[in-house]
């Protein structure tokens, strides 16, 4: 377990007091497998749980082989309410180049090893398993991983419980999303949109936006389809031009020069911008997670934006 800390020492409280920017802090991932497991989660929930060790090791190998980010999830609410009568729900998603979200119903954890894993590579997620069905609604995954960080439990669980009562079956507690200090944090699938510092009102806004294939730029940690410098450029252009559609901005890396990344951002209306993004460490030091020593986390800041009148060569 994490070391006990006072409320004033909690990483999310200190991060907020320092006005630490949350933009461009989402963990990059383009493919997800999210597995219902109401049992115990260790610090690394995918391999530290009460499932068979050989199963979890094989599952991790398959995820690594197919570039899939695995998460554990459970139904929000009290522990006593989380057990499900039979089987387990699994969500599989791709966020780019084509967005897709399917729901699987598995009878046995070993079934995870016998999925058609090549379906992640082909993009045909319905071929993963005979139970796979396309999900017509987005899924909200709220980090509530207490073994990784106290802030995630304190902030995430009430958000998941409240939103889950409004949207049963579409809101789940999930394992580590990173960025404990931006808790409550959540992932929307299949958009791959990761959010920071939610409350009851903004969590519902986040979900309603996802239903319309939109994001809320000022709450975004980033779109997981991008590396972090591109997340910074994407959020900057969205904010500057009030663009909320998930496909309203497309970012590509143009160059990397020491600590500066050049990003070309194209809008769906045909405008193009070159953004300079600087990567630097923040002062003063602060804990990146509860109970850890103070550190200087990386930050990615857009320092220049130039509108282009022609397509860059």
For 240-259, what is each residue's pLDDT tens digit? 999 999 999 999 999 999 99
In a domain, 283, yes or no: no
In a domain, 35, yes or no: yes
Cβ–Cβ under 8 Å, residues 67 and 30? yes
E strands in 75-223: 88-94, 100-106, 133-134, 139-143, 171-174, 186-189, 193-195, 220-223
In a domain, 64, yes or no: yes
Closest CA to 263 of 271, 254, 158, 272: 254
- Per-residue pLDDT band for 287 (boundaries 50, 70, 90) equals low
- Please tell me the distance from the alpha carbon of residue 233 to that of residue 277, in angstroms, as a whole number: 7
Summary mean pLDDT of the chain: 89
Give kind and range of the element (H or E) at residue 228: helix 228-241
| pLDDT value at 313 more than 60 | no
Closest CA to 15 of 227, 248, 181: 181
Rg from Cα positions in the chain: 19
Place of tokens 């699938």: 189
- Please tell me the distance from the alpha carbon of residue 59 to that of residue 35, in angstroms, as a whole number: 11
- Please tell me the distance from the alpha carbon of residue 218 to that of residue 203, in angstroms, as a whole number: 13
Query: What b/e string do you get for 150-179 counting C-beta neighbours within 10 Å, with b at 16 or more?
Result: bbbbbbbbbbbbbbbeebeebbbbbbbbbb
Number of domains comprising the chain: 1
CA distances, 225 to each of 50, 78, 96, 244, 260 (Å): 31, 33, 6, 16, 20
In a domain, 309, yes or no: no
- Per-residue pLDDT band for 291 (boundaries 50, 70, 90) equals low
Mean pLDDT calculated for residue range 159-163: 94
In a domain, 186, yes or no: yes
First to last CA, the chain: 52
In a domain, 200, yes or no: no
- Per-residue pLDDT band for 111 (boundaries 50, 70, 90) equals very high
In a domain, 49, yes or no: yes
| pLDDT value at 114 more than 70 | yes
Q: What are the tens digits of pLDDT across the range 49-84? A: 888 899 999 999 999 999 999 999 999 976 535 555
Enclosing domain of residue 77: 31-194
């Amino acid at each position: 377990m994490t070391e006990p800390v006072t409320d004033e020492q909690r990483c999310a409280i200190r991060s907020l007091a320092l006005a630490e920017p949350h933009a461009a802090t989402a963990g990059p991932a383009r493919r997800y497998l999210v597995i219902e497991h109401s049992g115990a989660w260790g610090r690394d929930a995918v391999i530290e749980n009460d499932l068979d060790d050989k199963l979890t090791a094989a599952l991790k190998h398959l995820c690594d082989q197919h570039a899939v980010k695995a998460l554990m999830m459970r139904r929000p609410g009290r522990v006593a309410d989380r057990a499900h009568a039979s089987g387990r729900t699994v969500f599989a998603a791709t966020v780019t180049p084509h967005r897709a979200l399917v729901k699987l119903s598995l009878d046995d954890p070993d079934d995870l090893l016998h999925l058609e894993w090549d379906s992640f590579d082909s993009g045909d997620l319905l071929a993963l398993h005979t139970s796979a069905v396309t999900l017509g609604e987005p899924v909200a995954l709220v980090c509530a991983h207490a073994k990784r960080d106290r802030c995630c439990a304190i902030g995430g669980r009430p958000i998941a419980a409240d939103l889950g009562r409004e949207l049963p079956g579409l809101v789940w507690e999930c394992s580590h999303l990173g960025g404990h200090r931006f808790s409550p944090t959540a992932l929307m699938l299949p958009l791959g949109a990761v959010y920071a510092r939610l409350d009851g009102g903004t969590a519902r806004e986040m979900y309603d936006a996802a239903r319309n294939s939109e994001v809320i730029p000022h709450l975004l940690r980033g779109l997981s389809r991008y590396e972090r410098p591109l997340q910074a450029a994407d959020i900057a252009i969205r904010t500057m031009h009030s663009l909320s559609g998930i496909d309203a901005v497309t970012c590509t890396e143009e160059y990397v020069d020491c600590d500066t990344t050049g990003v070309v951002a194209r809008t769906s209306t045909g405008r193009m911008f070159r953004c300079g993004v600087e990567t630097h460490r923040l002062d003063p030091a602060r804990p990146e997670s509860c109970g850890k020593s103070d550190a200087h986390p990386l930050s990615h800041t857009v320092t220049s934006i130039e509108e282009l009148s022609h397509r860059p060569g």
